[in-house]
């Protein structure tokens, strides 16, 4: 079960890295630098927005699942008198 919690942490870290990159790209878009292709920036921003959201949501789901399992196992042990 600890692996699930570790996986949750990894998903959150990836989501945070996606958000950081997203902020960098949004800044590039606002700077209106001709060096950057606006269409490509917007496409990458859209993709990173979804990836960031999905990674963090998955992290939350895994953590909640881990916590529920831990709670249920604790209750079972108490009921069994262990």
> Which pLDDT tens digit goes with each residue over 16-30?
999 999 999 999 989
Do the beta carbons of residue 28 and residue 36 sit within 8 Å?
A: yes
> Which residue in 54, 69, 53 sits closest to 5, CA to CA?
69
The structure's pTM equals 0.80
CA distance linking residue 49 with residue 33, whole number of Å: 21
Residue 51 has pLDDT above 90, yes or no: yes
């Amino acid at each position: 079960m600890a692996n699930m919690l570790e996986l949750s942490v990894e998903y959150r870290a990836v989501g945070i890295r996606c958000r950081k990159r997203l902020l960098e790209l949004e800044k590039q878009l606002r700077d209106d630098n001709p060096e950057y292709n606006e269409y490509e920036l917007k496409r990458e921003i859209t993709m990173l927005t979804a990836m960031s959201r999905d990674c963090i949501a998955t992290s939350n789901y895994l953590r909640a699942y881990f916590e529920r399992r831990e709670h249920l196992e604790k209750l079972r042990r108490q009921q069994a008198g262990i």
